[in-house]
Amino acid sequence: MRYLGIDIGGANTKIATSDGTIKELHYLPLWKDNTLSKKLKDISERLKPDKVGVVITGELADCFKDKLHGIMSIMKAVEEAFTCDVYYIGTNGNIHKDHDDLGDLAAANWAASSRFIGEEVGDCIFVDVGSTTSDIIPIVNTKHIAQITDFKRLIASELVYMGVLRTNIATLLDEVELEQGKCRVSSELFATTGDVHLLLGNIMPGTYTCATADGAGKSRLETMRRLARIVCADLEEISEDDIMKIAEQVKEKQINLLAEAIATVSIKYSISRIVAAGIGEFMIFEAAGRLGMECISVADKWGKDISNVFPAYAAAWMIETYPQP
């Protein structure tokens, strides 16, 4: 049988099979692209799964009036696309077929990942840094003990709203140090963290799946042009060295934010081991090193492509491993 996991986020839809032979990430920004139903139908017809496990994180997209409306819209698209049995995984880490409390399905991809990691690794802090957000999930006695809404997880430092690709640089820094001195940063969406990490060589061009801030390409020149605009400059006004300094300072800020959140969760639950997943594993390892914590790589253990779509893989694994209602 083919067990397929799907993680439907606001910006990306990820899919994976439980045997790991299929791992795909599709950039599909729900707030401006209404083709989710068509994309899922194409996936259904192409892969012909026998059972599907779904985790939802896209309900917060501002095309929906509230989270409940978002969940219902996404579920409708899923159920129109697949003729096989479809199951949903909630924030409690359980599998549901008919779900009375739809709110439990909101932002639940980390719950599937945590259940897998809890079974396979044991007590740890599961950290998944993706394109948009960073999850910091405490796991004790194979079960996650995290808060169950994004709002509460933000308060508890179990969610940091920054990622490798889509984060507006102006939300991270107020000013940067340049050769000429300190310079305030413009508050416009001129560049994102995808530009930073592509320029620094932390990601490959193929990983930069989302749209750029200006709609232009992802060459080195175009990337530097966007970063120069952060300080309202053209490339003729600012040196390449200063552009690289901007990129390094953005990365440094991200590592510090991540390390602070991990430290908060580590102290609260007395956990000193991290399991790292997502396209931002490189940031997690740097943060772990600064904290002196052991760090296990999902990419090393299960493969880089699986790490990049880990919630979908975990959902497929759950549907294959556990009995369904």
DSSP letters spanning 286-320: HHHHHHT-EEEEHHHHH-HHHHHTHHHHHHHHHHH
Task: Say which DSSP state 168 is in.
Answer: B
Name every residue whose Cβ is closer than 8 Å to that of residue 278 and which is 6 or more positions away in sequence: 127, 128, 129, 130, 134, 164, 284, 307, 308, 310
Cα(12)–Cα(312) distance, rounded to whole angstroms?
Answer: 11
Q: Any idea what the Cα angle at residue 16 is, between residues 196 and 75, rounded to 5°?
A: 95
Q: What is the pLDDT, as a whole number, of residue 228?
A: 97
Give phi and psi for 251, each to the nearest 5.
Answer: -60, -45
pTM above 0.85, yes or no: yes
Q: What long-range pairs does 173-181 form, CB within 8 A, spacing at least 24?
A: 173/249, 173/250, 173/253, 176/230, 176/231, 176/245, 176/246, 176/249, 177/245, 177/249, 178/231, 178/238, 178/242, 178/245, 178/246, 179/239, 179/241, 179/242, 179/245
d(CA 266, CA 320): 32
Which pLDDT value is given to residue 99? 66
Whole-angstrom distance, CA of residue 231 vs CA of residue 185:
5
Max distance between CA atoms of the chain, in angstroms, equals 64
Q: How many CB atoms lie within 10 A of CB 294?
A: 11
Model pLDDT, residue 324: 76
pLDDT per residue as tens digits for the range 93-115: 889 886 667 878 988 999 999 99
pLDDT at 101: 72
CA distances, 226 to each of 165, 175, 207, 210, 222 (Å)? 14, 16, 18, 15, 6
| Residue-level pLDDT at 104 | 85
| Res 226: pLDDT | 98
Taking the alpha carbons of 264, 107, 99, 308 in that order, is the dihedral positive or negative?
negative
CA atoms within 13 A on the CB side of 22: 19
pLDDT-flagged residues of the chain (< 50): none
